[in-house]
Amino acid sequence: MTAEAASGEAGTTDHAWAGARDALRARGLRWTPQRRLVLEVLAETSGHITGSEVVDRCRARDAETTPSTVYRTLDVLEELGYLRHSHGADGREEYHVLPATEHAHLRCLGCGASWEIEADEARGLVEHLGTARGFDVTLSHVSIGGYCRGCGPADAGHGAAG
């Protein structure tokens, strides 16, 4: 994708990112080459990416990219709805690019595999926490660690205190 396409200027075929430049400017941020590069990297990404991966991909194209600019831009893009962040099993912050729906994650502590849990799947847990605890869950921040079938049954002694 070209810088013009990522910026929402004429010639873009990716309408999902159209207007991002103006939205950033409306937040008082200048439209700099580094911010344009962050949008280009994100526009080429589907699914999840960590902040450090965004920094690395930007630096591969422009060594002058500063992490602080990348992270500030990611924060604003999340506020604008272009991203949603969650935390992996290891605590790393991950971003879901252009999330269509809110979802949580299952992460296997054995093999590291992960799966998305759609809102419908998590509805019972979310409703229970709302009713029992008066707690309004932000599903995109939920990451449940455990062990998949391939890594062994739950009763195999994986971290369960007995």
pLDDT digits (tens, 9 = 90+) for 44-67: 987 788 899 999 999 999 999 999
The residues pairing with 105 across neighbouring beta strands, listed in sequence order, are: 116, 143
Query: What's the confidence (pLDDT) of residue 154?
Result: 56
Query: What's the confidence (pLDDT) of residue 13?
Result: 30
Show the domains of the chain with their CATH numbers. Answer: 3-97 (1.10.10.10), 103-155 (3.30.1490.190)
Q: Do 111 and 55 meet the contact criterion of CB atoms below 8 Å apart?
A: no
Rounded alpha-carbon distances, angstroms, from residue 136 to 86, 99, 123, 132, 139: 16, 20, 12, 11, 9
Query: What's the confidence (pLDDT) of residue 53?
Result: 94
Query: What's the confidence (pLDDT) of residue 153?
Result: 67
Residues 69-83: what's their mean pLDDT? 90
Q: Which residues of 3-14 are buried (b: 16+ CB within 10 A; e: fewer)?
A: eebbbbeeebee
Contacts of 117 (CB under 8 A, 6+ apart): 103, 104, 105, 106, 142, 144
Residues 132-154: what's their mean pLDDT? 82
CA-based max dimension of the chain: 63
Query: What's the confidence (pLDDT) of residue 90?
Result: 67
Quick one: how far is CA 53 from the chain centroid?
A: 11
Q: How far apart are CA 157 and CA 39, in angstroms?
A: 45
Q: Phi/psi at 100 (nearest 5 deg)?
A: -80, -35
pLDDT tens, position by position, 84-140:
887 766 677 888 887 666 777 788 888 888 888 888 888 888 888 889 999 988 777
Query: What's the confidence (pLDDT) of residue 117?
Result: 83
Residue 4: pLDDT band (50, 70, 90) is very low
